[in-house]
Structure formats: structure tokens, C-alpha cells
Structure 1
Amino acid sequence: MPVTFIGVRHHSPACARLTARTIDALQPAYVLIEGPADLNHRIDELLLGHELPVAVFSSYRDGERRHGSWAPFCAYSPEWVALTHGRTAGAELRFIDLPAWHPAFAGRSNRYADAELRYAEVMERLCREFDVDNVDVLWDHLFEIGADDDLFERLAAYFDLVRGTSAAGEQDTAREAYMASWVRAAAADAGDRPVVVVTGGFHRPALAAALDGPAAWPTVPALPEDAVGGSFLVPYSFRRLDAFDGYQSGMPSPGYYQELYDSGPDQAARHLIEQVAQRLRERRQPVSTADLIAARATADGLATIRGHDAPTRADVLDGLASALVTEALEVPLPWASRGMLRPGSHPVVVEMVAALSGARVGRLHPGTPAPPLVHDAGAELERSGLAGNADLDLDLLDPPDRERSRTLHRLRLLGVPGFRRDAGPATGVEPVLREQWALRPDAGRLTALIEAGAYGATLADACAGVLAERAATAGRDVDALAAVLFDAALSGTDDVSDQAMTDIEATVAAAADLGALGRMLAVVLTMWRHDRIFGTARSATLGVVINAAVRRILWLAEGVRGGPAPADLGRIAALAACRDALRYADRALSLDRAPALEIVTRVAADTGAPPDLRGAAFGFRWSLAPGLTEVEGEAAVDPMRAVRSAFVPGSAGDWLAGLFALAREEVLHTEPVLALLDELLSGMDPQEFLVALPGLRQAFEFFPPRERETIAGRLLARRGLGGSGRGLLRGAPDPAVVAAGLLLDARVEAALRREGLTGREEADT
């Protein structure tokens, strides 16, 4: 069985050249390629005549797992060269790997993940041996620069060393067993004709050792019955292909390697220097001809010292950095390690990396099939008049404008570029009735829509899928869940799946932050009660959230412990939102008041609870059931007794903050309570008043200016003084200054008495 195994590094120009030469020379019967076997019946679609780079995007979704991955191709990808040269040679083309949705690819967003990343120890030893910084520099040193005469043997020795004698992990073992079955079947069918197998070099030793065995054609795994998925071609870009931008495998700097593949190392080095100079000059950075000459001379010198026949990528970059960066660097040069560009990189270095990356963006052939979402979105944009370049001012109370707004928000939530909202409501309680949008054509729109097609066939379905996924990943982050609910309102997503509803309830039930729960409940309750902008009034989804939030807030409130401390406005607001839910939605949502009142009664009487929470709990009960005579054996509401017993100078302000936040109107319209507060505050000595003052000021801030004026007027009347409450408020100095003055007066008076210098003693003298 004449089988030739070519182990490659994905997106390597040297490996692409080797693949082309081997196929052209052997004219094989079969060319087998590492790639998703479920795409074999669509290989003609890959070869329609696209402008590279393009990628196969595969998606998978079931009740428990969602997976998306990409298999990108550019002109110098060995897999792409195997397809094109294999077709020219008349070979049968087959992808031989498991489908991208298979559990063997769990955790990978890219099919072509490098084996070197998993076998760092071997790579580190090789880098030390050859005195290079990282695997990318090592690869260029060994394979990309120089003659290709013995490249096949050198690659085989390299990948044998990388693989070593260690067994692959469970996932790779499953993949290799599947690929080996394709190899055996093709070899048996080809007879004496050659078979060429192109896979990642890590897999080559295992596949070469597995030629003996059954030779039946393997079946292609089918999607589970409860799963939805598929694969589509998408336009790709050099930026997405670049390791410096987060790409998980292959080579960094795709623009440089494209030039290397097309023109060779000398031309690639010259082009790189020119590109860097052009980018810097466009950004008004000074780059002289002398700088460029120095950069090229340094690169050539480094290549000679490092034993390269021509400058490598690292030689050119080091030369440019030496010539153009004159100050100390805060972070290491990015090509000295593998990974994304680090924050704090020198601006010149950033431009150098961008120049290497290139700006090429792929384009699909017009006859390329697309998922249903692409067609649905296009039709919706045309129908709504949103397909062009425009600046929109939408009236959210106008039904056609509101529908256009929902379409735009769905596109925004799906990550489709070219639709930017510049102004509009940020929460469900703002009185903002208009939105401003900027619509601009964007080359990435088709790619984003194809990838979003994994969520659903229509804009509405896909948007619901995205929101459900966000709800599932919210965990205990109530603010994240609130954002999901508001985005659902903006996009007109009224109904969510049972699973999404379960996830939403789970997030609320696990939340530990009373403040966050209160913020969310306040917004959700307002939207549920009377939202005519987004159409969420009486929404079933929001009703479930309100129910869950009320239960969780009451449960958390009863467990809070702590002594006197500054009032926590977040937890006070949470109780206020909970009270409002019981006040306005108890019947419609079957909220039970009695258990809630029992809980707040216990909290109000619990001396271990913080004062602000005790005050809020008492205000909760007073405002929700002012005429209640008894709650499970407890005494009727008695605000006078409650105020008197809670009035401890060090924490009075905190207790009152909770009370005023939840029972402000009750206090304002209960004259005896105001009279008692006046009595208690007036009876404080200056030291106590100064200590209590910050809390008291915060508490009285819950009264709006008109109500503070009413209170001031009543205080004047109690003292038989004329004038208006407004005048008293306007003319009053800073209370802190007044309190400090009173304290100083008291201390002076005490010192005079101690020394016998009061006014009475002076008169006797």
C-alpha cells in the first residue's frame, strides 16, 4: 500500500510547498486531509473560487452544550494546497477527521490547535538547544528559510520528536483511530496507486503506525436527534488568523507569511520593512530613509549571525525594533514569546505587528450556500429600510419605528457589525423615548450573520438563542441577568425557552448581593407594570423573575448580621423594591404577603441585624400594612414605640434611613412621629448629635425638597415661630458647622464651670 504521510504545521508556507510538490509528483488516487468528514459531500463548494482566507464554521447546539469552531484556510495552508493540487491531479479528495461538533473537539474553538502547545517541555528543550526564544522562531529557523531539498525528512524527524513515545490524550486517540480507518480504506481501494495523507505533524507517527487493520470505509457520525448544527463557509481575515490577535493555532503574522509564500524570504523582508514604514508615516511617526537602511542592515547582520540564508521574520522585527524604538520598553517584544499582543506594548511595536498581520479579508463566491439567517436578515433589512448607509432617529412610541428598533437590537445582540446605537434608553425606567442609530456597511457583516446562524434560522430565533445562552452563563451575576432581561425587552424577545427560564430562576436563586437584586427587581417591576415602549407589561418572563427575586431578597435579608455601620443603600433599596412588588403585583403574580410580613417583622425586631435593615424592615411592614393589628401573634404596628426604642445616638441615622426609604409618606403624615423625632433630636447632647449627624443627613435625604420644606414648617410651628419652612432651609448654615459650634460651646461651658468662672460666680465676687 503506497501511502505517503505528510506531517505539517498548519498555515506553514514550507509545508504548503512540500504538499504541492508531493501531490504533483505522485499523482495519487486519493488525497486525504485532516478536516471534518461531514463536509466531504460539499468539497466542490470549497473550490468554487473564493478569495482567501475563508473558513469552515461549524456549530452545534443541544440541551446541554453549545459549540462553535472554525477551520480556516489561506493560500499557504497545506490543507488548502492539498485540495487544489489534489483536484488538479484528478485525485479523490476526502476529509478524514471527526466532525467539529464531536465531543473529541470539546473545548476547542479551532480545529487546527497545535500539538506543540500541549507538549511544551519538548519544545522548550528544542528552543534551548537552538538558542531561540519560542516555537515560532524555532520553526522559521528550521524550516521556513533555506532549501527544501530534505524538508520531508526533517519534518518527519521533528514531529517524531515532538510526539515522542507518549500516548495521545483521549480526544486525540479517538480522532486518530477514526482518521486511520479512512487511510486504510483508501489504501485498499487505491491498490497500487499512491495515497497522500496530509495531517498535523503530531498525528503523523500514529497514523503511519496504524496501516494494518480493517479496511472498510468508515461512516460519518450523525448529529444526535436532539441537536441542531451544521457547517458553512464564512469569509475570514488575516487579522483573525493571527496568533497576536488570539488565534489558537498555526503561525503568527499571516501577512508576512503570505508574502514569504508568494515571493520568498528576501522579498518578504523587504516588503515588511516597507509596510512598517508606510504605517508609521500614515500615523505621522517620523521614519527616515536612514532608519530603514539601518533596520535592513541590522536584519541582514542578525540573519548572518544566526545562521540564516536570508532574514527570517524575527530577524527583520529585531532589526526594525533596534532602528525605530529608542526608549526603554515597558513589556517584552511580542515576538519573543507566543500569544496575544500585551497591553503596554510600544506604539511602534504595535504598528510593526499590524504590518505583519496584513489587512486581507476573504470573500465568498456568490454561489456559496448560506444559512437561513443570512437570507432572513437580508429580507428584514430591506423590508425595514435598514440596508443602506443612514443615520436614524427613531420614535419608540411609533409602531414602525419600534419594529425597526427591535430589528437593529437583534442585529446588535448577534454581534453583526455596522449597526451602532448612539443614544437611547439605558434601563427600563428612564423617560427616554427616542433612539439614534448609525448604519454603515461593514465587510464583516456576512461572516457575523453566518456564524450567528448557529443560534437560529431567523433574527428573532437567533436573538432568543443568544439571550438564553447569556442567561445560562450569568451564574450569580444578577447585574448580568438584568442586562439580559433589558436586552430582551429592547429586541422584542417576549418568550424564552423553558431551559432559559430555569437558568434565569437559578441565577436569582443563587444571588448573594442584595443591592444587585434590588436594582434588577426595581427595573423589572417597572417594566412589568407599565411599559408601553418595549411592550413588556405583564410579561410572563418578567413575572417569573419578580417572584424569584422577592423570595431571594426576603431570604437574604433575614440572614444579614452586623452592628452599627453606615447605612447600606443597596440593601435598603432591595427591600423597597420587594415591598413595591408585593404592593403592585401580589394578586397578578400570586405573591403571598403574609410570609413576607412575618419575615420583616422578625428582622425589625432582631437586635443582631444592622440598624438600617431593621429600620427598612419596620418601614416595609408599616407601609405595606398600616392597618394591620397582628402578624402571627406579634403586636400591631406601633411607630411611636419603634422609633423610641431604635433611637440610639450612634445608629439612629442609619435606622431612620431604612425607615424613611420605605415609609417616607407614612412618617410625613403621622404628626406624632415627627413630634417624637423632634423631641429625641433636640434632647441629644452636642457630642451625640455630632456623631449621629452624617447618618441623620443621609436619612433625611430620602425626603424630596418639598417634603423637607413641609417638615421644616411644622418644626417652626411647634416652637411658635413665624416664617416659612423654605426660608429656614435656605438660610440654614452647614449642619456640620452648627454641630461643631454647639460642641465647642458645650466644652467651653464645661471648662468655665470646672474653673468656677461661670456668670453666677462672677456676680457673687
Structure 2
Amino acid sequence: MADVAGVDEGGSEGRVRGPLLLGVRHHGPGSARAVRAALDAARPRTVLIEGPPEADALIALAADEAMRPPVALLAHAVDEPGRSAFWPLAEFSPEWVAIRWALEHQVPARFIDLPATHTLAWGEDAERVPAGKEGVDGVDGEEGPVDGNGPDAGRAPGAGAAADVRVDPLAVLAEVAGYDDPERWWEDVVEHRGTGDGDAFAPFLGLEEAMGALREAYGSGGHERDLVREAYMRLQVRAAQREFGDEVAVVCGAWHVPALRWKTTVAADKALLKGLAKVKADMTWVPWTNRRLARASGYGAGIESPGWYGHLFGAPDRPVERWMTKVAGLLRDEDRIVSSAHVIEAVRLAETLAAMRGRPLPGLSETTDAVRAVMCDGSDVPLALVRDRLVVGDVLGEVPASAPAVPLQRDLDRIQRRLRLKPEALERELELDLRKENDAERSRLLHRLRLLGVGWGEQVASRGSTGTFRETWRLRWEPELSVRVAEAGVWGTTVFAAATAKAEGDAVAAQALADVTALAERCLLAELPDALPTVMRVLADRAALDADVGHLAQALPALVRSLRYGDVRGTDTAAMTDVAAGLAERVFVGLPPACAALDADAAEEMRRHVDAVHGAVGLLGDAVASGAGPEVRGGVPASAPGAEGSVPGQGVPSPDVTPSKPAALGHGGLRVRWHAVLRVLSVRDTVPGVIRGRGVRLLLDDGQLGQEEVARLMGLALSPGTPPGDAAAWIEGFVGGGSGGGMLLVHDERLLGLVDAWLTGVSAEAFTDVLPLLRRTFSAYEPGVRRTLGELVRRGPGERGRAAVGGGSGIPGFAAGLDVGRADAVVPVVRLLLGLDQVDMGREGAGGGLADNGLVEVAG
């Protein structure tokens, strides 16, 4: 048994004595047709296929009606699910054809490549790898298109070394044949070759001879790991020969065929395998996509045009005519004007181009050129659609429910079926209305999966609605997500349990306060009430230890934002209100000292924190006032230990209850405290101008400062004694940052006059310094606002004053006063929008009028 096989010179049809070695190009429709023809002619008693032996038990599932390629064999380490590998198979893959042939003819089929238990461990322990066999960890770095069916890595980051560089056999053979494009050479030699005429074994004998010459020149081609794999395959072929004789067919990468005929001993092959590292591995079938088969996706054995190859395999007769018909149908669906005449002309042009280029049949390049010229009017824009939808395609395979899977995957499949949320390879948008139970459950599922690291959906901004009851998701299922699901299985057997455990673990491991608040928000979005107490405890601990006001201010908005979900999603957020109020109090105390002596960049960052805290205080006050948070009695939440109604002896009321406590003051107290902080920021000289200006603007917007006081503060900030740079920063804080400051200047002539007078009084040298800052401030205004400001400045203060004295407002498009009649005309519409008609009808019948129900005040 030293020889695997020898050559029978006198054999019929040039057959090789011993096992039938069918060297193929993985994912090649021509190779797939040739394999089927060779198997029909040889009728072997067993079929050996390049692939992990652990998958032998999964071969029978290929006959299931629910199994639809493209699919892939997934192997992952049991103790480390992130360490994984794929073996993809398409309908036109020779290995898939061999599996289906064996099942149809009831012939045993086996995988003979290096076991996945070694493949996943490769490189994990360098000391255990035999000398001279330094390989890669779970990544078959085979770049050659002829032999590249090794696993596509889904391993954990940083788990191994880079793949070795190897020779591309196709490129070498194409260059020898005078081709500059290996794909074109392969199409001419193999894909366009018919199998109905001539010897069924001739293509494999010719390819074996070519690969033998290349192996003599290049050895293993740069991959020492190939020698180990080939040694294992020789041992498996010998074992099959002992059981079935020479009636054995082997389907493997053409690069390996010469090595399988080498005259080696069993002892030598076993020596190569001695000492290989091992891990415990599980295997299953998972869906695959055409996009992942594409070489651009990074898969080593990928092909550039899986959709085109699938068409060639499925339509061996008149492939060009059928392809052009597909293209025409796609373009028509996209409202392109394409007639049957276009199809006829495109076919003729493709055939003419093939003849001019000396090709036996039109290939992808000829059909693409013909489509561009005839159907796309020379434009690459519609052609890009053809490449994306047809040349590559959005096909997503399916696997039967009986395929092995981790419990978490089973639970996910069950939820997807119940919610009618089918995984799809084509990216699509999903609009959810959280007021509907089914949509709310979909949202919870997607948020839980994102928390587990399974990025099936990405949340995007909703179009046409800003309500918190609406979410928009962009969904796209990638094969790698199956690995993420297996990896997340260590957290639990159901999606809910796994997401809960993962959230608790992330909370304990988080270092930054903002990370914990963001996690709390995600727990509410995913509705994980069991995880929220742990997250809130960690949040309270982190907040107590963090003295950086910037961190506190960055964490507060996300925490307060989460309180809103108590209304939209029906989630109990009582535990978060007290923590948020305490966090706000710490921000109030620490913000004024933190704003002193800042440079320009730090001041701008702190200004953004001030804006965020201002919005958060408004939301927090609304949440407390609306009852989203706990009821407060004597400074202690009613749900807290020691509060009224709680179990005696379980807690003690807070000893330091003062009127300034935000929890005690509730809705009004928080805003009063915040307004006091803003007043301090707006008048303190050590605070940068951009923050002082923003403090004045926020107080003005909340009605805490009158127009006269604002004009006085602006006059002080823009006085001649103030450095021009500081004054320009004050203006940016007051009217910049997307705060609607342009309209404020349009409506308030005094403020505009102060800015105009200050700017005209700045010296030439200082003007050059402040110009970039002013341009950044005013360039953010709407074009109409800038045009109106320019008109007002051009007219000057005297003209504006005379217009006002003459009965006008001095502002183009505005009257001198309020037109009550026109304002009353909108009242019915406002009533309809606010839904007050039915409510107020009863009140009006009881003597209540328009003024009684407060609608005039609402309408303003």
C-alpha cells in the first residue's frame, strides 16, 4: 500500500488505475458538470470529498427538500465559539454535485480533509505544531482559485497569524496560454466546454498533468500546511481502498491531485500528523449568500461572479440568450426602456465580440460590454445595478430545521417565525410602530440581538416622523451572524436569558460612566427588567466615584432619555429617576468650577455638555412631573426602603432633606436649580465667552431673562474693554450652535444693533482674528435668514427706527402688531391637532368657553 495509485498505460480511455481523482476548481460550474459526467461514467462505490470529516453525519441533510444552497458547513470550537470556520458550497460547486450524486445513487460519501478539530486549533499553540509546519489558525489562507475551499475564518480577533502567500495556479496557466486574465482563460478552457462529447475523464487528466508540472516547479506553493492536509487525505484514500477496492472517486482541489498520487508510506504520512493541536469542535449547516461567495468579500476561494456562474450551471443551453433576457427583465423592473429588440442586438454584439477576441463563446466580459452598449446607453449607472443584482446576486440559502444548532439559535428561529421576521440577504428597511404589540416585540428582539453582538439590524433615523413611538431598522442577514449566535450561546439558551446575562456582565466590566448609562438605555430598549437592577447598581457606584463633571454631563442625557421609554414601551423606569436626579445634582454643583480657565477647544466641548444637560433637565423634570419616576415623600422615593408604607426596619429616611434636593423638589426644583447654575455661568468672568453666551441664551429661551436684561448682558460682553476674541466667542455661544439665533436677531433689533455696532468698531487687526469664528457662526443660518439679516444691516438703525415710528415693525414681512383675526382662524386646526374637540364639547355645554379650557394659551 505504499502507492496510492499508479497509471495504467493500457487502460481504456486513458483511465488511471486506482482511485478516480477528480481535480476541480471550487465553485466552478464547468467543473461541477464535469464531475457529474465523470461520476455517471465511472459509477464508483464510494465518493470522497475534500472537507472536514466531522461533517460526515451531516451529508444526509443535503437530500432534504428544505436544504437550498448556497449553504456552508460551520465548525466552531465548543469552548470558544468565536473560533470558527466555514466551508461554503453553492449549487454549482463540484463538492455539492458530488454529495447530491452520492445521495441519489445511494453511494456512501465521506469528507477526507484535515479534521476541523485540528483546523480550528491550528496556530493556537505554536509549540505543538510540527517543525516546518507553521501554519495559520483556522484560516485556510489559500488564495488560489483552483484550490481554495478551505474555511472562511470567523475566528476571534487576534487569534492567529497571517496566511502564507501562495502561488495562483490559474494565473500561471493562463499566462503560459497567453491570457492576461485568469478568469477568461478558465472560462474558455473549462466553463465553455461541453460534457456531452468526448471522454468524461479527459478534462481531469489534462488538469492533473498541468498541476503536476506546477507542483514540480513550486512544491506546496507557499503553504506548508497543504502538506499536512494532503498527508491526511492520502491516509483516508488508502482506508477507502481497503474497504471498496479501486472503485473510489475523490473530488478535491486540482492543486492536491498530484500530491495524492505521490509514492509515500503510511508511516511518513502519519509522522506529518503527529502532535497536531486539537480542540473540541461542533459542526452544522448554516445558510450562505452569493455575496459571501464573491471574492471581494474576502473569502479565499471566492469567485467574482457567483450569479453568473449559477446561471451558467442552471442554463447550459443558450446561456447568452437567457442571460440577456434576465438583464432585460431587471432593467424593466427599474423602469428602464428595454425591448426585445435590445435583447436580440445585445446577443449579436456579445457573439461578435467573442469572435473578434478569439473566444469559443461569449463570456461575462462580452455580455457585460454588450449590455452596457445596447441596454444601458453606454452608462455604468444601470450597469452597476446589473452587476449587483445578477452578476453577484442576493441569494440566501436555507437549511432544514433538523440541522444541528445551539439552543440559542433554536430559540431565535422560533421567535423569527412567530414574528414573521425572515432573515434575508437583501438589505431592506423595516418601519416599526411601537404602539403595536407585534412591532414592539420585533424591536425588542432586534435590540436584544444587538446587545448580544448579533448585528442583524441597524437602527437608522425614521423618515417622516420624529415620534419616539416609531423606529426604523435596516436589516441584512450575513452568514457570520450564525457564528455570533453560537458565540452568544455561552450567555444563555434563550435570547432573553442570554441578553440579560450579557447586559449584567457588560455592566460589571464597564469602566466609563457613559458606557453604563448607555447600557441602561439599551436594557430599556431591549426590555430586560431582570438586568436593570444590576446595571443601576453599577451606575450608582460609578457615578459616586467619578469626579469628572464632563463624564457626569455626558452620562446624564442617555440616562434621562431612558426615562421616556416608560411611556412609549410601558417599561417601569422608577429605579432610574432617583439615580438621574442625584447625577443631575452633582452636575449642578461641579459645573461652574469645571468651566473656569478653559481653552477654546475645551470650552466648545463643555458648551456641548451644557446643551446636553439643559435638554436632559427638561426631560427629567417632565418625567418626574408625569409620574414616570417614583413618588417622592420627604426626599426619599416611595419605593425606597424606609419610605412611608415600606416594611418597618428595612430602611431609614434620608437625614439631609433640604429644599434644594432635586428629588424633593421634583419637576420645578430641578429646573430652578439648573437656572441658578446657568445664571452663575452667564456672569462669571472666568468662564469662557462661548459658555457665558450660551447660558444667557438658554435663560432667555426658558423665559428666565427679559429682553432688557439680555441686551444689558450682551452690551457688557461686547463692550470695548472685552477682547475681540472673547466677544466673538460670546456671540457664537448666544446665537450659534444651531440654536435658532438667526431668527432671534431678525426679530430683536436691539440685539442685532449691538452686534452690528460691536463688529463695525473692531479694529482691522482684531477683525482678521475673529472673522473665522464669526463666519462659522453665521454660515450655519438658513439662506433666507442670512438674506434678511443682510437687508436689515444694509438699511441701518435709523431706517429701522423710522419704519417702526411710521407704523411698521421695521422687519420685512412683519406687521406692527398681532392680527387677532388671522390668529383666531387657526384655532379650529389647532383644536383638531390636539384632539380637544370631543373633550371641550362637554365643557362648553356646561358653560365653559374657549378661554376656560386654556386653548388660547396653548395656541399662543
Instruction: Please report the TM-score for the alignment, with normalisation by the length of structure 2.
Output: 0.56
Q: Which moved more, 1:316-325 or 1:521-530?
A: 521-530
1:182 to 208, 219, 236: 236
Q: 1:476-497: per-residue Cα shift (whole Å, max 9, x none)?
A: 9x99997766434311246779
Aligned mates of 1:309, 1:385 — CA distance in 2: 48
Query: Which residue is equivalent to 1:715?
Result: none
Per the alignment, residue 385 of structure 2 pairs with 350
Aligned-partner residue type, residue 95 of structure 1: F
Q: Tell me, in whole angstroms, the C-alpha distance in 2 between the residues paired with 1:386 and 1:360.
A: 17
Contact residue 280 and residue 348 of structure 1 kept, 8 A: no
Percent identity, aligned pairs only? 24
Among residues 567, 574, 590, which one is paired with 2:604 in the alignment? Answer: 567
The match for 1:196 among 245, 249, 255 is 249
Give, in whole Å, the separation in 1 of the partners of 2:227 and 2:508.
32
1:282 corresponds to: 333
The residue number in structure 2 matching 1:304 is: 355
Q: Which residues in structure 2 correspond to 1:721-740 (within 5 Å)?
A: 732-733=748-749, 735-740=751-756
Residue 406 of structure 1: aligned partner = 444
Shift in CA distance, 223/455, structure 1 to aligned 2, threshold 3 Å? farther
2:732 aligned with 1:694, yes or no? no
Contact 1:69–1:110 under 8 Å retained in 2: no
Could you tell me which amino acid in structure 1 is paired with residue 488 of structure 2? Y
Q: How many angstroms apart in 1 are the aligned matches of 2:530 and 2:141?
A: 33
Correspondence list, 1:600-611, <5 A: none
Structure 2: how far apart are the matches of 1:95 and 1:443?
A: 32
1:233 aligns with 2:285: yes
Closer/same/farther in 2, CA of residues 317 and 160 from structure 1, 3 Å limit: farther
Deviations 1:40-86 (A, max 9, x none): 12322222344531413525367876145543333321111222333
- The CA distance in 2 between the partners of 1:197 and 1:391, in whole Å, is 51
Q: 1:41 aligns with which of 57, 75, 78?
A: 57
1:293 aligned to 338, 344, 358, which one?
344
* 1:455 corresponding residue in structure 2: 488
Is the contact made by 1:374 and 1:446 (CA closer than 8 Å) also made in structure 2?
A: no
Instruction: State the alpha-carbon separation in 2 of the partners of residues 230 and 120 from structure 1.
Output: 32
* 2:92 is aligned with 1:76: yes
- The CA distance in 2 between the partners of 1:311 and 1:474, in whole Å, is 59
1:199-232 alpha-carbon deviations (Å, 9 max, x no partner): 222333444437522488999999857xxx7433
Secondary structure at the counterpart of residue 60 of structure 1: strand
Is the alpha carbon distance of 1:316 and 1:436 closer, same or farther for their aligned partners in structure 2, counting shifts above 3 Å? closer
Instruction: Provide the rounded CA distance (Å) in 2 between the counterparts of 1:128 and 1:475.
Output: 57
* SS class of match (1:193): coil
Q: 2:522 aligns with which of 474, 487, 490?
A: 487
Q: More displaced, 204-213 or 77-86?
A: 204-213
AA of the residue aligned to 1:694: A
SS of 2:50's equivalent in the other structure is: strand
Aligned to 1:154: 206
Does the 8 Å contact 1:57/1:451 carry over to 2? no
1:323 aligns with 2:361: no
1:533-612 equivalent positions in 2, closer than 5 A: 534-535=571-572, 538=575, 562=599, 567-569=604-606, 572-573=609-610
Alpha carbons 2:70, 2:91 under 8 Å: kept: no
C-alpha spacing 1:162/1:302, structure 2 compared with 1 (3 Å): farther
Q: Does structure 2 conserve the Cα–Cα contact (< 8 Å) formed by 1:19 and 1:78?
A: yes
Cα distance change, pair 483–687 in 1 and its aligned pair in 2 (3 A): same
Other-structure match for 2:159: none
Q: 1:165 to 1:223 in 2, by over 3 A?
A: closer
2:58 maps to amino acid: R
Counterpart Cα distance in 1 of 2:322 and 2:508:
48
Which aligned pairs between 1:387-398 and structure 2 lie closer than 5 A?
Answer: 393-395=433-435
Whichever residue aligns with residue 82 of structure 1, its letter is A
| Contact 2:431-2:470 at 8 Å conserved across structures | no
Alignment-mate amino acid for residue 756 of structure 2? A
> In the alignment, which residue of structure 2 is the partner of 1:93?
109
- Measure, in 1, the Cα distance between the counterparts of 2:182 and 2:359: 16
- Match in the other structure for 1:653: 689
Q: Secondary structure at the match of 1:232?
A: strand
Three-state SS of the structure 1 residue aligned to 2:265 is coil
- For residues 298-323 of structure 1, the C-alpha deviation after alignment (integer angstroms, 9 at most, x for no partner) is 22223223333332333322333333
After superposition, where does 1:198-237 map in structure 2 within 5 Å? Answer: 198-209=251-262, 211-214=264-267, 224=279, 230-236=282-288
Take 2:406 and 2:754, find their aligned partners in 1: how far apart are those partners?
A: 73
Comparing 20-29 with 566-575, greater Cα deviation is found at: 566-575
Q: Secondary structure at the match of 1:287?
A: coil
Deviations 1:208-263 (A, max 9, x none): 437522488999999857xxx74333445556545577765344444443443344
Give the number of aligned pairs.
624
CA contact (8 A) 1:529 1:538 kept: no
The one-letter code matched in structure 2 to 1:267 is R
Map 1:8-19 onto structure 2 (within 5 A).
8-19=24-35
Q: Shift of the alpha carbon at 1:89?
A: 5.2
Shift of 1:271: 0.6
* Shift, 1:140, TM fit: 0.5
Alignment deviations for residues 404-428 of structure 1 (CA, whole Å, 9 cap, x no partner): 75246446778798999996999xx
CA distance in 2, matches of 1:447, 1:565: 41
Residue 293 of structure 1: CA displacement? Answer: 3.0
Asked whether the 8 Å contact 1:136–1:251 carries over to 2, the reply is no
Q: 1:729 to 1:68 in 2, by over 3 A?
A: same
Task: Name stretches of at least 5 consecutive residues in structure 1 with no aligned partner.
Answer: 330-344, 589-622, 628-638, 709-727, 748-765
| CA 36–121 in structure 1, closer or farther in 2 if over 3 Å, else same | closer
C-alpha spacing 1:231/1:305, structure 2 compared with 1 (3 Å): same
What amino acid does structure 2 have at the position aligned with 1:165? G
Which whole-Å CA distance do the structure 1 matches of 2:762 and 2:372 have between them? 72
Q: 178, 183, 208: which is aligned to 1:136? A: 183
Q: Could you tell me whether the CA contact under 8 Å between 1:24 and 1:89 is conserved in 2?
A: no
- What CA deviation, in whole Å up to 9, does each residue of 1:308-346 have, x standing for no partner? 33323333223333333444x6xxxxxxxxxxxxxxx42
- Secondary structure of the residue that 2:249 maps to in structure 1? strand
* 2:559 corresponds to which of 496, 499, 524: 524
Asked whether the equivalents of residues 13 and 261 of structure 1 are also in contact (C-alpha less than 8 Å), the reply is: yes
On the 8 A contact 1:32/1:96 being kept in 2, the answer is yes
Equivalents in 1 of 2:275, 2:349: separation in Å?
54
Tell me the distance in 1 between the aligned counterparts of 2:92 and 2:291: 15
RMSD: 6.4
Quick one: structure 1 residues 224 and 661, their matched pair in 2 at CA, closer, same or farther if it must change by over 3 Å?
farther
Separation in 2, partners of 1:212, 1:368? 38
Residue of structure 2 equivalent to 1:21: 37
The match for 1:613 is none
Pairwise CA distance, 1:267: 1.2
Q: Distance in 1 between matches of 2:561 and 2:307?
A: 53
1:145 is matched with 192
Q: Distance in 2 between matches of 1:202 and 1:525?
A: 62
1:346 is paired with a residue whose SS is helix
- CA 1:86–1:95: 2 relative to 1, 3 Å: same
Structure 2: gaps of 5 or more residues? 5-17, 123-135, 149-164, 423-429, 621-628, 630-635, 638-672, 764-860
Q: Assess if the C-alpha contact under 8 Å between 1:69 and 1:108 holds in 2.
A: yes
Q: 1:575 to 1:44 in 2, by over 3 A?
A: closer
- Residue deviations 1:527-576, cap 9 Å, x none? 48996754466589x99xx99x99xx99xx89998468873346644996
Secondary structure of residue in 1 paired with 2:112 = strand
Q: Is the 8 A contact 2:77 2:120 kept in 1?
A: no
